[in-house]
Structure 1
């Protein structure tokens, strides 16, 4: 059986790509491994119309609305191979092949967290990466930024809009004279003592024994696409500030004709709103490519 479009990844971007295709009555399949990036967070903020709602509930409601369209098939599983064929693409899941004319990659990303005791279990609950998503709820309390490299300066300069900010260098970054002046102008406290542990709610334990209580901690983990499928297909991979991502044009098409990509795996950084917008564009572009 050949599909018009197969969408790999059924989180926000993938479902947003599926919706215009379903409304165009195209035969589509969504293959989803069930690993939303924000699955650790209790609430999703900054998404218009759903501000503060549970991310799992948002995704489930969207899925049920999508499945109301009769041309949509939902497959819970993981794709481990994708190849180009004469008529489009062949997708392989454990024990099954599927053929499709077009392919949308909504692969999501993996966050590569700093190796620091206590951080992983607080990820998405008291340790965050996006101030627009979680900064407001800290109620202008004391905020920390954990440096992981040169890009961390941007977080440190942004966070004072959400509360008193301390920048923990943790031997990962040393600001130069100009950057130090910028931090000072923003009222950021710079802490040079190494961090040994995250404890309590989001408190920093330093190597000299001090504990600094925080309302929340921000860091910028490296990311990478959660699946190697784009590279398997020969799609160009770009280098972003946080890690590699799938290169796309303005219509979300990759360098491989007929393969579109959207969501966090296809941009340098993102959130739910941007993922949904990218997904909608990818779905529309995939549909138009079937016609023109």
Structure 2
């Protein structure tokens, strides 16, 4: 079995297979989506822990199993059919596997605001359940990126005083505007010139709005072309593009499974770990009972 992507979902899936005494290959490019964050939150038993440390400990635990092979590198191509897949890494090595599990994660398409990308994961976030509490009920800015920004602005008053910065991207329906105002959300229509300091938003009229933290809703897409290379069906969600799977985390291609951020919304470490564990178990059962998951 080959797992493409060795972050939280991929490792959780691999653990189920290793404990079933199966031979597992993990190929990982080492680009965790949350690598800029210094603390993980909302993950039971690990709240406040450095997410890099969570990943390091998890890998060390997996490496205790003799049937694991871990390859550091990026998968650049994949193909084949059930029971006979081939993947190739960027260093030219090829690997064969009976099953593929895609846990590649996603890339984030961020709003084109000067200074935003540099603060992504440190003072600009997407998930209030992961980062809202630490803002200590302070001022929160929501930088519009599309319709999902309205949902963020509706939800975030639970964590502080919210200002929705429409930045020329949202034309609010009068009913939506009234609902936001009733939630205590301030609406700022002036375009953004850039972000400075910790989370200070400089507007084009010269004003600077100081926030404890900022939120935005990026569009997501698989961070690797492997799913498309093997022919997996993709689907559109309000958050972007993901790999389409059924309840057993099978993709549209027999023998190929997907889990974690690349195959589900919303996204968090907790959800990725749970999804990966389920996918790993289901993949294992496809080997034991092939007719049931044909």
Q: TM-score, normalised by structure 1?
A: 0.97
User: Using the alignment, how far apart are the partners of 2:253 and 2:144 within structure 1?
Assistant: 36
Structure 1 unaligned blocks of 5 or more: none
Unpaired segments of 5 or more residues in structure 2? 290-294
Q: Deviations over 1:179-211 (max 9, x none)?
A: 012101210000000011101110111111100
Listed as ranges, the matches of 1:1-292 within 5 Å are 5-85=1-81, 87-93=83-89, 94-292=91-289
Residue 53 to residue 86, structure 1, CA distance change in 2 (3 Å): closer
Instruction: Tell me if the contact between 2:82 and 2:256 (Cα under 8 Å) persists in the aligned partners.
Output: no
Q: CA RMSD in A?
A: 0.9
Contact 2:82–2:254 (CA under 8 A) maintained in structure 1: no
Counterpart of 2:138 in 1: which secondary structure?
strand
Is the partner of 2:281 in helix, strand or coil?
Answer: helix
> Does the CA contact (< 8 Å) of 1:243 and 1:268 recur in 2?
no
- Post-superposition offset of 1:86: 6.8
The separation in 1 between residues aligned to 2:134 and 2:36, in whole angstroms, is 16
- Structure 1: distance between partners of 2:115 and 2:103: 30
Contact 1:88 1:258 survives alignment (8 Å) = no
Structure 1 stretch displaced more, 78-87 or 48-57: 78-87
Partners of 1:239 and 1:87 in 2: CA distance: 29
Q: CA deviation at 1:269?
A: 2.6
How many matched pairs?
288
Taking the aligned partners of 2:28 and 2:73, their CA distance within structure 1 comes to 6
1:148 touches 1:221 (CA, 8 Å); kept in 2? yes
1:117 shift after superposition: 1.1
Q: Give runs of ≥4 in structure 1 deviating > 6 Å.
A: none
The separation in 2 between residues aligned to 1:73 and 1:16, in whole angstroms, is 15
- TM superposition score normalised by structure 2: 0.96
Aligned with 1:212: secondary structure? strand
SS in 1 for 2:69: strand
What is the CA distance between 1:85 and its match in structure 2?
4.1
- Decide whether the 8 Å contact of 1:241 with 1:268 is kept in 2: no
2:262 is paired with a residue of what secondary structure? Answer: helix
Q: Distance in 1 between matches of 2:28 and 2:139?
A: 38
**2-structure distance, mates of 1:87, 1:154:** 43
